[in-house]
Amino acid sequence: MLMKDRLSTPADSRDRAAPARSRAGTATQELLRLQQSAGNRAVTGAVTADRAAVQRVPVTLGTRQETLFNQAGPGATAAPAVYGGNTGARADISRGGTPEVATVTVRIRFFDQARTPTGGNTGPRTALAPNDPRIAWATKVCTDAPGTWNNRGKLVSVRKPKTGVGSWFSPDPGGPVQLPLVFRAVPVWDLASPADVEIAVFGQATTAGGPQHPIDAGHYYMTKGANYPFPETAIYAHEYGHLIGLPDEYSQSNPQMHALLHDMDPGTAAVRQAAMDNQAVRRMVLAALARPLYDQLARATGNIAAALKRGSVPMVTALGGQLRAAISDPAVRALFESAVPPTSARLAPRVAAAVRGVTGSARGAAAMAGKVVKAEMAPAAVNALVTSQYWNALMAVHNTAANVGGIGININIQGSGITPSGLWAAAMSGPSAADAQAVTNQSVGALQTGRVPPGTTVQLDPAPTGVPAGRLGGILRGRPGCPEHRDSQDRPDQRVVGRRRFPCPRCHPNAGHPDQRPGAGPRDQRFHPRGAATLAAQNAVRAFLSAEITPVLQTSVTALTTAVGQEVDTVMATPAGSVATTAPKDPAIAALATSMHTQLTTQAAAATAAQGAAAGSTAVNPGTTAPPQAVTYGTANMMSDNSLTFRADQFSDLANKFNSAPGLRHDREDPFKAETV
């Protein structure tokens, strides 16, 4: 019985269809009555109200005025400069396509105009001639720069279900709406047609850089020069960001970066701001210690060289044996034979004998190895190796972005301790100088006479036992080049003079080279294997020493960084004046952290007052100057360091304009918000 009640016969189906047809008929009659009373046009509009026509809506985006702390200030500080204007950026926004997208279009007028010595504009604007190479270049920029922004952001909303008369004819249950953001730049070449922005473009003869020719949102350059190491596409993608209303996010003051963190996400701003200040104090302490650490280690390298020299005998023996084995490798001999210049082809039969003459005997190989090891372990050479490796390890802390709650922040310490009179020179006098010296002695070791100092360098005392096997053969077969022509299409160990090839004098200093020595003859060519073998031996010893020394130095810096972090955490979590009662693990580091925290707080308060923000407020006037800063900030972002990182808040102004512009947001759609892709 229950089963029968649940089954439907064909007759049952027909009976159910009848009411549906009746409802449709009733709807049609109601629609006819509406047409008679309100008119066809009104009824059509009611039925298709959410099918808005595609249109372009002009909008004004954000402000373009900003303060950057990118000028040289007194001492180790960065002074401010105000850029741009407050008229906002202009663009068009449209909606359409299948599937639908929101398209942001900027019309750029390109023209020719000179600049003043200080970077201003001077003289008349001139339209580019049809055959001017700047036209093709600027057209490509208009494709590449906006393309970097595509597939980075989207506008999202929810569409409510359709109701009323329209739902009878085109049902729509509603649901999520996603509009990918597409960016375009349209070049304008004449001086009369409408444009959103005007940009002077410079040809290949003018190199960008310096106070007269900086690349900015109003001046583009075909030749970017050495002052701009970023790829051209990244540079102009950054400038395109300005054209859609985004400010720079580098060289910011402390309150400016706090305001930016608040704009990104108010809910997480307090935690991120505290983390950013903590990281800033850590790096200030490490920067203050960099010069004392470097100088003390440099003074100790004589002792380090002496320790290495005591263990050099096994290295000479191993290197000599490898020289003999490597230079006898058939592949290496073939390399030497192929390196003989065409004009000296008659010397080819003598190459094998020359190779044997260089390292054919154990005594000869040992002599060459001993000479190389002695030179590479001399105090001057060890000093250059150790100090450069240590400086790189110290600076690596500053050359990476700090992770502040998932946001990469570049914290730039002005001067980074490079010059003795630079960063924190005033702070490093008196008690601070004594604290810095105490930390230095703990990290590097106090200077001693006659032995390797304790601390970092004591780990270098064990004698090295030899050169890793196979290193020399690999170096020789790899034909090491030199920076002069490593990336050229010439063979790595040769230079082209006229139509002839000769051994590179930098790679092979003992080889004959007619473009340096016009009278050189066949006699010089026989020494080409000696130069190559010497170079390979030098590279092997340097690589071995680097592999031995670098981990030791890095371990020291890592330990110091950890200790600094621990003391900074304590200092910044302790009320002012109470640090001494916390019994810090390292009083000297704690004292430095307290000094650096006080300096940061003082400068941040001065900037906050100058830039129009009350204490605790996030409001910052972007076009107001402020006193010089010892620490500046930037994001790891397209609008800061040109990295391919984008955030949702960078598209929020576009979402707001889209919502308020007529005809872009359809009926039944909630306000759109910006998200990243």
Percent of the residues in the chain that have a pLDDT greater than 90, as a whole number? 40
DSSP output for 190-216: SSSS--SEEEEEEEEEEE-BTTTB--B
Letter string b/e over residues 304-319, b meaning 16 or more CB atoms within 10 A of that residue's CB: bbbbbbebbeebbbbb
Q: Domain residues of the chain, as ranges?
A: 91-249+645-676, 275-331+360-470+530-572
CA of residue 475 relative to chain centroid, distance: 32
Q: Which pTM was predicted?
A: 0.76
**pLDDT tens-digit map of 461-472:** 333 344 443 444
* Alpha helix ranges (H) inside 573-614: 587-610
Q: What's the whole-number mean pLDDT along residues 119-127?
A: 95
Q: Pull the structure tokens for residue 147.
A: 């393309």
207 torsion bin: left (phi>0), alpha (psi -120 to 50), beta (else): beta
Confidence of residue 5 (pLDDT cuts 50, 70, 90): very low
**pLDDT tens-digit map of 480-497:** 334 333 333 333 444 443
In angstroms, the CA 198 to CA 200 distance is 7
| Intra-chain end-to-end CA distance of the chain, in Å | 57
* Strand-strand pairing, 101-115 and 175-188: parallel
What mean pLDDT is reported for the chain? Answer: 77
Burial class from Cβ neighbours inside 10 Å (0-12, 13-18, 19+) for residue 123 reads exposed
pLDDT of 433 over the 50 cut: yes
pLDDT value of residue 549: 84
User: Which amino acid is residue 228, in one-letter code?
Assistant: Y
